[in-house]
Structure 1
Amino acid sequence: RQRCEVWLLRLAMFVGLLSAVVTVIYLTPVPDLQFASCDRPCHELDWPMICRFRLVLEQHQSMGGWCGDCPKNLTHCFRYGCVIAEGLTRRILTANKQLPGPAIQVCENDILVVDVVNRLPGQGVAIHWRGQKQSESPYMDGVPMLTQCPISSYTTFQYKFRAAQAGTHLWHSHTGNEFLDGIFGPLIVRKADRVEEQRALYDVDDRNHILVLNEWGSGSAGDFPILVNGVFHKDKLMPKLTVSPGLRYRVRVVHAGGGNSCPFYVSIQNHEMLVIALDGKSIKPVNTKTVQINQGERFDFVLSAYAEPAEHLIQVRTNCTKMDGLATVSYNLTEPTRAQPQLQVSPLESQITMDLLSTLSSKDCTKDSIMCLNEISSIHDIPEPLNKPKMDVTLYLPFDYIEASTDHLGRAGLVPRLGNVTFMFPSSPILSQPDEVDAEEYICNEHQTPERCSATNPVCECTHIVELPLKSSVEIILINKDKYSSNDHVFHLHGHSFRAVGIAQNVKDADIESIKELDKRGELMERNLVTAVEKDTITVPKDGAVALRFMATSPGYWLLHDQSASHWASGLDILFKVGETSDLPPVPEHFPKCGSWVGPQFFLI
C-alpha cells in the first residue's frame, strides 16, 4: 500500500510538471515566421539568429558613372552605387559602393558573421566594431597588429562575434586613412520591447531613422563640408526622416569623425529632442534644443511629431567649418493627424528644456541652460565596487607632445606621448602571435623597458602594456598636458565601457605628483559615484583631466587611444592586458598569421 502511494505521488508530480510546461508553451507567443532576415522585430523569447553580412572594400568614384544624370534627374541620385558626397567627382574608398557603408541591424545576442573582402590595392585594413566588448571573442576586435593581421589586398577575413551590447554603435576601419574616407557605417543592436528601458517614451523605432554624420575631405578650416548620410545638401538633395503627425520616433545619430576632429552641434527646426541614450547606454532623458557630440560618439533621441505638418530642417554645424550639414524632417501629409496622447510624464523624463546638451566640458557648463557630461545621469546606478572610494588599480596617464629629433638627420618635430611613452605597434599581432613578438625589442611595462629607452632620452617608443588583474576595479585619470594644441582630445577604450565619474578643468600648471596629491586630498575633481554616465568614448578638455572607472572583466589586449586617426597611428595609445595568458580564449583554428620576414642568407654571384 505504501509503495502504491509513493508511485501515485510521483505520477501526480509528473502530471503537474507536464501541465505547467504545456501551459507555458501555450501562452508563449509564437515568433512571426515571415521574418527570415536578422532585421526583424526583436523578441526576448526568440533564439539568437546567425546573421551574415558581406562588406566589400574598394576604390570607387563619387558622382561617377553610377550616378547617371544626377542631380538633374533626382531618381538617378538614389541608384545603387551612386555616391553623392559634396557633389564633385573624385576617387574615394567605400564599402559596398555606399557612403556611409551599409547599416548592420540585428537583435541583442545575435551572432554576427561578417565577410570583409579587401579589394584595395596595396593596402591592409581591419574593421573595428565600436560598442561591442568582444568578451568572448577578443580576436575579433579589429585592431591590426594587436588582435589580428591586417586584411591583405584581395583577401577575405571573416569576423564572428556575438552582438551582446545593445544600442547605437559604429563599425569602421582601423588603419588610419580609411577612417578619413568612407569605410564606416552604423551598427544597430536592438533590445526586445519588453526589456528596452526607454520603450514607453516612443511609438516607432524605424530602421531608416539613422543619421550618420562625418567631415568630408581634409581641407583647411572653413572649407570642408559636413555630410549627413553621405550627402552634402545641394540642388535639394538632402536626407529625409519621414514621420506621421502625432507619433513619437526614436532617432539614432552617429558622429563618424573625419580629418579635422571637430565636435558637431545637432538641432531640429521647430522641434526639441528628448535624448535617451549616449554611446548605446540609456540615460535619464533630457529635453534639449541642441546636442553637441564629438567624433566616435553616438546619441539616441525621441522626436515628437507634434509641429506643423511641413518640412523642418535638421542642422549639423561645427565651429571648424561654415559648410553645415542639413537634412529634413518631413511630415507625411497623407496620414491623418493624430491628437497628442495624454500620457503621464515618465518619472525619468526631464521637465526642463535645455538650450544645449553636451558630451564635452567647458566654462559654459556653469550656465543653467547648458547641461554637460558631468551632469548627465545613467538610469542605472554605478555597481559595486566601482562606487567605492578606492579602486584596485589607479593609473594617472598624462599625454602631451614634446619637441625631439624625428629622423636620422636630427631634424626636430613634435612627438606624442601617453604615459610618457610613444606607442609603437609590434611586428606581429600580440594577441594571436605573442611568441613571435620580440619582447626585448618592442615591449615596455613595469617589468622591462627596451635598451633604447634610457632615462636621458625623452622619447621612448615601444609597445606600452599595462597589466590589469581579471575582475579588478580600475580607475584611469587621463591628463591633458598638450601645450601645442588648443583642441580637446577624444579617447576611445576597446573591450570595456566605463563610467565617467569626474572632470577637472584646469591642471595646466600642475605636475603629475602635484595632481596625485590634489586627488589624494579630494581637491582635484568632484566624483559622481552614484549615477555617472556609462560610455566608451570621452573628451578630455584642454588643460583638463577626466576620471574613468570600469571593471576589467574581458580577458584580452585592449587599446586605449586618441580618437584622431593621425594621433593614434603615431603614438597616443596604451594597451591594457586584462588577465593572465591562461585566461585568454584559445586562438581560433587557422587564424591568419603575419609579421616581419627576412629572406635567406645568400650571395649574388
Structure 2
Amino acid sequence: MLRNFCLLILIYSKPCLSAIDILPVADTSVQLQVGREDADPQLSKYIQPNDIASGRYDNISTADAEKIGLCARPCDGAKPMVCYYSWTLENYATVGPACGDCLKGNQSHCRRKGCVTADGFERPILSINRQIPGPSIQVCKGDTIVVDVKNHMLDRATTIHWHGVYMKATPYMDGVPMVTQCPIPSGTTFRYKFPATPEGTFFHHSHHGLQKMDGLEGSLVIRSPRAKDPISSNYDYDLYSHVIILTDWMHSMTDSKFPGRSHNDTRAKPDALLINGQNQVPSDNSPRVPMHFFKVQKDKKYRFRIIGGSCLACPLIFTVENHPLLVIASDGTPVEPFTVDTLTMFPGDRVDVVINCNQEPNLFWIQAKTICDTQITAEAVLQYSSGQKLKYVSKRPNSSAFKRGKSLNAMDINPECKSGVDGVCWSQINALKAPLEPNVVLKPVPDKKFVLAVSEFFYTLDALFWKDNDQYQRFFQASPAIVTHMINNRSFMMPPFPPLTQSDPIPPNMVCPTDDSKCTDGSNVKGGKLCECVNIIQVDLGAVAEVIFIDWGSSSFLHPMHLHGTDTYIIEQGLKPKGVDNKAFIQQLQDKLAKNGANLATTKPKPCVKDVVTIPPSGYAVVRIHFNNPGFWMCHCHYIFHSDTGMSMIFQVGTRDQFIKPPPGFPVCNSFMPKVDPDEFKSIKWDDEPT
C-alpha cells in the first residue's frame, strides 16, 4: 500500500515523502552562501538564502539561526540583525532549459535549481533570482532589511513596493516610480534599506507597469516575539513554509493584453491560477508539473498566511478541504478570531488563518478558484504526517467540488453587508484591540472629509483617434468599450519626477484642477470632459479624515482600493440604493455619519484595520484615516489595468519641512527639454561642405 501511495504522489506531484520527512529538522551545519557572487562583498556575511519558504528552516532555533546568520528565526530572545538580499530581476521563461525533461515526466528535473514550472505552459516571464514567487523575506521586528535590486531586464525600468509596510522612517523606500523614487533603469542597481516594522503579513511586488503579474512578487513577513503576539494562543506553529501566495496567471506577457485586443483573445482574464507559483493543469493529456505541498501533523494548529497576489478583477475563493479557517489577522493587524469556510481574496489582501489539523491523517485538497464565469482553479495539498498509509481522500476537485459556505469579504454575495448572510464584510469584524489613540482616530468630528469616487470614462472613436487634437490619450480596451479610469473624474498621470525626493514644482498644466466643473463624468458621448493630470490631495500632518470610497461607474467591477503609508479603519460598508442620485446619496451618508459621530468611539470601538478595502459595484466604504506619516502616498485600485489607466491619486501628508530627506546620492530624474536656438549650429563647419 505504501508503494501505491508513493506511485500516487509521483503521478500527482513529487516523490514520496516518508512520515519523518513531514517536518524536517534544520541542518545547522549548512552555512549560508556567504560567497555568493551576486552579493555585495561588504555585506556578504548578512546574505539570506532564496529558499526561506521551502521548509528547510522551519524548526531552526534562534541560537542556531544566529550562528549561521539566518534572519528567519524564532523572535523570542532574538538580537536585531541585518538581513541582506541580493536580487537579480531578468527576463526568464517557465519550463525553460533548467527544467530538462520535466515536461516529459522527470520529476527530479522539475525540482532543479532555476526550473520555474508554473502550470507547465511555456511562456516568457519576469523573475527574481529565477524563481516565482520571488524570494521570501521573513524577519523579526527590529531587524534591518537590505535588498539590492539589480535590474537585468531588457528595456524595462522597475521599482519594488513593500505592500503594507508604512515606511515611516524611510518614505523614499516605498517603491512607487515617479512618486517616491526614480524608476530603476535596466543595467543598474538600487538598494532598498528600511527597518522591519510593523509586524504582520505583507508582500513585495513591482510597482512599475504590469510587471507584477509576470512574476515580480513575493512574500514579506515580519514577526514579533511569540510572547508579545496577542493571537499566539490560537496556534501551535507559525512556520516559514506556511505562507501562501495566490496569483492569477496568463499564458502570455501581460502587456500583450494592453491596451487591449479587438479581434482575438480579447479578454483580460487569467488562463490559470497558481499557488506559490505552482499548479497542474487538470487534463489527462497535459504534463504533470509539481503542485505545492504543505506539511502538518495531526492534532496541531498551524498559522497560515494567505496573500492575495492576484492582479485582475476576478476575486479568488480559497478553501481547505474538511478544514474550517479561523481568521486571526488581516493586512498585518490582529482581529477578534472568527471561523469561516472560505476566504474571498482580492488583489492586495492578506489574511492570517489557523488550520486545526484534527482530521485523520490523509492528504487534503487546498483550492483557489475564480468567482467569475471561467471558474479557473488551482490546487495544492495539505499533507499530514503519519506512520499510516495515506491516500487522497477524494479525487482532484473541480470548481464546484467545495461549497463556498460562510465566506469572508464576499462582497459579491453580500454587497449590502447585511448580518445573517454567508458573506461576511470586514466592517462586521472587530480588531483585536482598539486604536492606540481612540480619541484621535474616532473623534466625533473628523478634521477632514473626502469623497473618492471611482468610475470609468468612455471614449468615442472620434474623440480618441480622429479628432484633430493629437493628444494621444491613454486608454484600455475592455472590449467592446474603450475606457480610461478615474478617481473624482480625474485620470491619474504620473508626474515628470518623484515629488517626494525632488522639490521642483510640478508644471501647473500637469496638476489636476481643483474646480470640479472642469473635470466631468460620463463620456465623450455625453459631452464629458476628461482630465488626465497629477491628482494630489493635501492633508495636514496628524489630521484625521473621514473618507468615503464609492463606485460611481457603470461597470460590474469590484475595486480593491489600497492606501500606502498608513492604514484605514473600516467604519461602514454597503450599497447605494438604486435610483438615488450619487451626490444626493453622499449628502445623506455624510449627514448620517455626522449624526453618529458623537458616539463613534462607543458604537465602533474596535474597527477593523486594513490597507486594502474593497468596494462593490455601486457600493461604498466609509473609513477613518489618521494621516500621521509625512510624505507622498499613493491610493489606487489594485486591479492592475485600473490603476495603470488612471484609478489612482496621491495624498500629500504634511509640508516639505516635515518630510524625511532621502540619503545623499539618492537618484534624481526629470524630463530633458533644453532650449532651442535657431542659430545654435550655424558656426559649425561640416566635413561635407565646400571650404
TM-score bracket, normalised by the shorter chain, equals: 0.7 to 0.9
Q: How far off its partner does 1:334 sit?
A: 4.0
Greater shift after overlay, 81-90 or 217-226?
217-226
Instruction: Supply the distance in 2 between the matched residues of 1:558 and 1:221 (Cα, whole angstroms).
Output: 28
Q: Aligned match of 2:558 in 480, 484, 488?
A: 488
Instruction: Give structure 1 stretches of 5+ with no counterpart.
Output: 1-28, 338-353
Aligned partner letter, 2:444: P
Instruction: Supply the distance in 2 between the matched residues of 1:525 and 1:152 (Cα, whole angstroms).
Output: 52
Q: How far off its partner does 1:289 sit?
A: 1.6
Instruction: Supply the distance in 1 between the matched residues of 2:664 and 2:295 (Cα, whole angstroms).
Output: 47
1:84 maps to 2:114: no
Aligned partner letter, 1:98: Q
1:359 maps to 2:429: no
Between the two proteins, the alignment pairs up a number of residues equal to 556
Q: How far off its partner does 1:454 sit?
A: 10
* SS, match of residue 99 in structure 1: coil
Rate the CA distance shift 1:454–1:82 in 2: closer, same or farther, 3 A.
closer
Instruction: Supply the distance in 2 between the matched residues of 1:331 and 1:378 (Cα, whole angstroms).
Output: 32
* SS, match of residue 328 in structure 2: strand
Rate the CA distance shift 1:223–1:441 in 2: closer, same or farther, 3 A.
closer
1:278 maps to 2:278: no
* SS, match of residue 503 in structure 1: strand
Query: Could you tell me which residue of structure 2 aligns to residue 230 of structure 1?
Result: 277
Q: Aligned match of 1:180 in 202, 213, 219?
A: 213
Query: Could you tell me which residue of structure 2 aligns to residue 8 of structure 1?
Result: none
Instruction: Supply the distance in 2 between the matched residues of 1:453 and 1:380 (Cα, whole angstroms).
Output: 42
Deviations 1:527-567 (A, max 9, x none): 76322210001111110111111211100000101112221
Q: How far off its partner does 1:250 sit?
A: 0.8
Instruction: Supply the distance in 1 between the matched residues of 2:84 and 2:454 (Cα, whole angstroms).
Output: 40
* SS, match of residue 376 in structure 2: strand
Q: Aligned match of 2:99 in 55, 63, 67?
A: 67
The structure that is strand-richer by fraction is 1
Is contact 1:125-1:175 (8 Å) kept? yes
Is contact 2:313-2:558 (8 Å) kept? no
1:504 maps to 2:574: yes
Aligned partner letter, 1:494: H
Instruction: Supply the distance in 2 between the matched residues of 1:185 and 1:522 (Cα, whole angstroms).
Output: 42
Aligned partner letter, 1:268: V
* TM-score, normalization by structure 2: 0.76
1:420 maps to 2:471: no
* SS, match of residue 441 in structure 2: coil
Matches within 5 A, 1:454-469: 458-469=529-540
Q: How far off its partner does 1:502 sit?
A: 0.8
Deviations 1:326-345 (A, max 9, x none): 000101114999xxxxxxxx
Is contact 1:222-1:323 (8 Å) kept? no
Is contact 1:501-1:547 (8 Å) kept? yes
Instruction: Supply the distance in 2 between the matched residues of 1:332 and 1:491 (Cα, whole angstroms).
Output: 40
Is contact 2:489-2:520 (8 Å) kept? no
Q: How far off its partner does 1:402 sit?
A: 2.5
Aligned partner letter, 2:548: I
Is contact 2:160-2:207 (8 Å) kept? yes
Instruction: Supply the distance in 2 between the matched residues of 1:576 and 1:282 (Cα, whole angstroms).
Output: 26
Instruction: Give structure 2 stretches of 5+ with no counterpart.
Output: 1-60, 255-264, 282-287, 391-403, 469-474, 476-481, 522-526, 687-691
* TM-score, normalization by structure 1: 0.86
Instruction: Supply the distance in 2 between the matched residues of 1:454 and 1:255 (Cα, whole angstroms).
Output: 34
1:439 maps to 2:469: no
Aligned partner letter, 1:440: P
Instruction: Supply the distance in 1 between the matched residues of 2:101 and 2:509 (Cα, whole angstroms).
Output: 57
1:409 maps to 2:466: yes
Is contact 2:249-2:273 (8 Å) kept? yes
Is contact 2:119-2:289 (8 Å) kept? no
Q: Aligned match of 2:82 in 20, 45, 50?
A: 50
Is contact 1:201-1:302 (8 Å) kept? yes
RMSD: 2.8
Instruction: Supply the distance in 2 between the matched residues of 1:487 and 1:454 (Cα, whole angstroms).
Output: 21
Percent of pairs with identical residues: 31
Q: Aligned match of 2:385 in 332, 335, 339?
A: 332
Query: Could you tell me which residue of structure 2 aligns to residue 93 of structure 1?
Result: 126
Instruction: Supply the distance in 2 between the matched residues of 1:121 and 1:502 (Cα, whole angstroms).
Output: 46
* SS, match of residue 589 in structure 2: helix
Rate the CA distance shift 1:90–1:525 in 2: closer, same or farther, 3 A.
farther
Is contact 2:279-2:289 (8 Å) kept? no
Q: How far off its partner does 1:573 sit?
A: 1.1
Is contact 1:113-1:160 (8 Å) kept? yes
Aligned partner letter, 1:587: P
